[in-house]
């Protein structure tokens, strides 16, 4: 692709990144039904679980790129990935537990999820920018459509900590969506001029570390006992179904 097409690259990367806002009117619907909120929160967990698998699938193509006939990892890439996941997870742990009674607020949880998705979208932007620079038109179309649709679903986990609350804090959520979506544009610009497997590995690792840290408290809340005992049983069943729905939604959208 020539430099004359550079503004189009910026425009398409922006569309991919900001498509995350398309989910906001749907997922901020007000509902007083606890069953609906249970399924929606569980679906957000399912989407995050899918994103874990999706990000690792991207990283694994680099970690195991030198393997031919056996399942052997590149020591440098594998070590970088493991350290990146651990560092991100432990930093978030230290921030949350700076005091013994510290708990993740909905705003902090949403911000961490947004940052994690931002790391993932940065690597997606890198892929898009590199494909644009190489001039592979068919691949560009597939990447654009796939990442555009996937970014739409990524708004849901960011919003999940605020589901069912009287004050959805639209301004704060709009900012968090920007944190999650804007790195796609930055990645597209960087990927156009420069590509690095090590760079991709680092940000994939940071994304996985942050997503892992978010999923744990979300699961704890999702499986918290309800009152009466019969309600606990129903809540657990709905949680199972919601997680499956969220995972399959992420898979189907990514496969389109």
Tokens of 233: 């049983």
**Predicted pLDDT of residue 240:** 92
- Structural domain count of the chain: 1
Region 51-75: mean pLDDT is 78
Across the chain, what does the average pLDDT equal? 80
Read off the pLDDT of residues 148-192 as tens digits, 9 standing for 90 and up. 777 777 888 888 887 766 666 778 888 999 998 888 888 888 888
User: Quick one: CA dihedral 245, 232, 216, 156, positive or negative?
Assistant: positive
- Taking the C-alpha atoms of residue 251 and residue 246, their distance in angstroms, rounded to an integer, is 9
The neighbour count for residue 108, using CB atoms within 10 Å, is 15
**Whole-number Å distance between alpha carbons of 96 and 143:** 36
Q: Number of H helices and number of E strands within the chain?
A: 10, 0
User: What is the residue range of 114's domain?
Assistant: 3-255
pLDDT at res. 85: 94
* Residue-level pLDDT at 84: 93
pLDDT of residue 86: 94
Q: Return the sign of the alpha-carbon dihedral for residues 183, 184, 189, 195.
A: positive
Q: What angle do CA 157, 158, 161 make, to 5 degrees?
A: 85
Q: How far apart are CA 37 and CA 13, in angstroms?
A: 33
User: Cα–Cα distance between 205 and 116 in angstroms, integer?
Assistant: 10
């Amino acid at each position: 692709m020539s430099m004359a097409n550079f503004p189009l690259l910026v425009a398409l990367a922006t569309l991919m990144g900001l498509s995350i806002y398309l989910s906001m009117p749907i997922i901020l619907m007000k509902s007083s039904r606890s069953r609906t909120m249970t399924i929606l929160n569980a679906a957000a967990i399912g989407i995050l679980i899918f994103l874990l698998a999706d990000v690792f699938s991207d990283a694994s193509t680099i970690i195991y790129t030198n393997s031919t006939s056996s399942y052997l990892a590149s020591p440098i890439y594998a070590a970088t990935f493991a350290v990146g996941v651990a560092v991100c997870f432990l930093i978030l742990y230290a921030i949350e537990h700076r005091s013994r009674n510290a708990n993740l607020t909905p705003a902090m949880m949403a911000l961490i999820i947004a940052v994690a998705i931002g790391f993932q979208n940065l690597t997606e932007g890198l892929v898009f920018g590199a494909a644009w620079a190489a001039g592979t038109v068919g691949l560009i179309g597939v990447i654009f459509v796939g990442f555009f649709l996937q970014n739409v679903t990524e708004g849901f986990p960011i919003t999940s900590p605020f589901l069912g609350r009287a004050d959805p804090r639209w301004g704060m959520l709009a900012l968090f969506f920007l944190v999650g979506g804007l790195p796609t544009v930055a990645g597209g610009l960087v990927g156009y001029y420069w590509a690095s497997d090590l760079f991709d590995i680092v940000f994939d690792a940071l994304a996985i570390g942050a997503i892992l840290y978010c999923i744990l408290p979300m699961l704890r809340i999702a499986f918290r006992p309800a009152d009466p005992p019969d309600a606990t049983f129903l809540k657990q069943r709905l949680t199972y179904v919601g997680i499956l729905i969220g995972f399959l939604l992420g898979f189907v959208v990514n496969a389109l």
